[in-house]
Structure 1
Amino acid sequence: MLPKSKSGTTFISGTHISQWEDKMKRFTRKNMDKCKSQPLEFPRTAQVTKEFPTGTVYEGEYDQFDMNGYGEFTFASGVKYVGSFENGLFHGRGELIFPHDNEVAVIRGRFHKGVMTERTLHFDDILDYRERDWKYCTMPDRRFAIEYIEKLKPGGNSYLTAEQPTKEIPEGFYDTGNGFFDPVQKVVFKYHDLSAIKRAPSIREQEWIMKNCRRGTIEPLGARSDLYERWTYPILKAGASPAPAAAGTRQAPINISRKPSIFEYDGPDDDESRPLFYDFSAFASRFPDASSEKLSRRPVRY
Structure 2
Amino acid sequence: MQFIGRSYKGCTENDRMHGEGEYTFPTSTKYVGEMKDGMFHGKGMLLFPNGIKYESIWEDGISKQGSFTFVDGLQYQENNWDYCDGNDRRFYSERCNGIRPAGESQMTDLHPPRPIPAGCYDCADGFYDPVTRVITSYSGGFVRSADDSEHEWIVRTCRKAWGDGGGPEKLQHPKQEV
Question: Where on the TM-score scale, by shorter chain, does this alignment land: which range?
Answer: 0.7 to 0.9
| CA apart distance, 1:74 | 1.8
Distance 1:154 1:221, change over 3 A: farther
Residue equivalent to 1:199:
144
Equivalent pairs, count: 168
Inter-partner Cα distance in structure 2 for 1:60 and 1:123: 27
The percent of aligned pairs where both chains have the same amino acid is 36
**Is the alpha carbon distance of 1:131 and 1:162 closer, same or farther for their aligned partners in structure 2, counting shifts above 3 Å?**
same
Corresponding residue to 2:108 among 161, 165, 169: 161
5+ residue gaps, structure 2, are: 172-178
Query: Which structure shows the bigger proportion of residues in strand conformation?
Result: 2
Structure 1 residues 188-213: Cα deviation after superposition (integer angstroms, max 9, x where no partner): 133344xx543102221111111211
Alignment gaps of 5+ in structure 1: 1-50, 224-302
Match of 1:208 among 126, 149, 153: 153
Distance 1:115 1:140, change over 3 A: closer
Structure 2 CA distance, aligned partners of 1:189 and 1:81?
26
* TM-score, normalised via structure 2 length: 0.79
Quote the Cα distance in structure 2 between the aligned partners of 1:149 and 1:120: 19
**What is the root-mean-square deviation in Å for CA atoms of aligned residues?**
2.6
Q: Which moved more, 1:107-116 or 1:136-145?
A: 136-145
Runs of 4+ that moved beyond 6 A: none
Partner residue of 2:26 out of 76, 86, 98:
76
Question: What SS class does the counterpart of residue 162 from structure 2 fall into?
Answer: coil
8 Å Cα contact 2:40-2:59 kept in structure 1: yes
* Structure 1 residues 1-302: aligned runs within 5 Å: 52-100=2-50, 104-131=51-78, 134-193=81-140, 197-218=142-163, 221-222=169-170
Amino acid at match of 2:105: S
User: Matched residue of 1:99: which SS?
Assistant: coil
Q: 1:139 Cα shift?
A: 4.8
One-letter identity of the residue aligned with 2:101: P
TM-superposed CA distance for 1:140, in Å, is 4.4
Considering only CA atoms, is the larger Rg found in Structure 1 or Structure 2? 1
Would you say the 8 A contact 2:160–2:169 is kept in 1?
Answer: no
> What TM-score do you get using the length of structure 1 for normalisation?
0.49
